[in-house]
Amino acid sequence: MKDTFKHKGLRKKMVEELSRKGIKSSRVLNAIIKIPRHLFIDKEFESHAYIDKAFPIGSNQTISQPYTVAFQTCLLNIKKDDKVLEIGTGSGYQTAILVFLGAKVFTIERQHHLYRKVLKKLTKLGYNPELIKYGDGYLGIKEKSPFDKILVTAGAIEIPKSLLLQLKVGGEMIIPVGKVIQKMTHITRKSENKFDKKTFGDFNFVPMLKDKN
Ligand code: SAH
């Protein structure tokens, strides 16, 4: 699989579109310019890679819309060496963005088929998280906690307490919350027991499911 001039041109156009839609962070836009999103989608659907839309990746799941990936990444203000927990590895595209930004990424996927596929893909493309785990994101990864940032890429009905407790004091989490439509929710852990919450508009994610299959 190749990254051609044509792909690069399409990426540049997509980044211009994201910028028009309000994505301001030059670091995030640069990551999107550099990472070949078409390599995270099955070859026969490659032509969809640079359209700003979510897209099916098998097992009833989607690769998040580029705007959503950019929006979540910007809200978390990812810095080099941040220790980040991602829930819902999916295609691995969001994971690659976090790795590109210099974060130490721990990511969890609950669908075994997707987990196996993404493990191979990220290794092959050289975006190497600290850990790709097959498991239930509701549990987080207690033994690797606390995290500077937690990024949830599936819609949760409520904010999982177990995840709040795996945040560092001063740490931040971004999670879409709601059943049909989700409010993008940003949480800051102010102290052991105090969490600040802000919401940022409506989104539409696949559900964060309980337990493994
Ligand atoms: N970040 C991904 C988004 C994929 S969609 C991407 O850019 O491609 C959300 C993903 O969350 C799906 O792969 C789904 O299987 C996964 N998921 C849903 N519930 C989960 C849970 N409880 N734990 C871990 N992953 C979960």
Q: Is 174:185 a contact under the CB 8 Å cutoff?
A: yes
How many whole angstroms separate alpha carbon 175 and alpha carbon 153?
A: 7
Check pLDDT > 90 for residue 60.
no
CB of residue 93 inside a 6 A radius of ligand 1 = yes
CB of residue 90 inside a 6 A radius of ligand 1 = yes
| Average predicted confidence (pLDDT) for the chain | 95
Per-residue confidence at 58, pLDDT binned at 50, 70, 90? confident
Per-residue confidence at 207, pLDDT binned at 50, 70, 90? very high
pLDDT at position 43 = 84
Pocket test for ligand 1, best of 57, 110, 177 (most atoms within 8 A of CB): 110
Homologous superfamily of domain range 54-203? Vaccinia Virus protein VP39 (3.40.50.150)
pLDDT at position 56 = 83
Summarised one tens digit per residue, pLDDT across range 80-117 is 999 999 999 999 999 999 999 999 999 999 999 999 99
Mean pLDDT in residue range 24-41: 96
* Catalytic (active site) residue 47: no
Tell me which amino acid residue 186 is. H
Mean pLDDT in residue range 45-54: 90
Mean pLDDT in residue range 158-163: 97
Question: Number of H helices and number of E strands within the chain?
Answer: 6, 9
Check pLDDT > 80 for residue 211.
no
pLDDT at position 105 = 98
Per-residue confidence at 212, pLDDT binned at 50, 70, 90? low
Residues 6+ apart with CB under 8 A from 25: 70, 73, 74
How many whole angstroms separate alpha carbon 29 and alpha carbon 34?
A: 9
- CB atoms under 10 Å from CB of 177, counted, come to 20
Check pLDDT > 60 for residue 213.
no
Q: Whose CA is nearest to atom 19 of ligand 1?
A: 208
Atom of ligand 1 nearest to the CA of 154: 9
For residue 159, the number of C-alpha atoms closer than 13 Å in the C-beta half-sphere is 23
Check pLDDT > 60 for residue 201.
yes
pLDDT > 90: what percent of the chain? 88
Domain extent listing, the chain: 54-203
pLDDT at position 159 = 97
Atom of ligand 1 nearest to the CA of 91: 8
Mean pLDDT in residue range 172-191: 97
pLDDT at position 114 = 94
157 alpha carbon to ligand 1 midpoint, in Å? 14
Helix orientation angle between 26-34 and 93-100, rounded to the nearest 10 degrees: 120
99 alpha carbon to ligand 1 midpoint, in Å? 17
207 alpha carbon to ligand 1 midpoint, in Å? 8
CB of residue 61 inside a 6 A radius of ligand 1 = yes
Check pLDDT > 90 for residue 138.
yes
Q: Whose CA is nearest to atom 17 of ligand 1?
A: 88
CB of residue 110 inside a 6 A radius of ligand 1 = yes
Per-residue confidence at 61, pLDDT binned at 50, 70, 90? confident
Mean pLDDT in residue range 57-75: 91
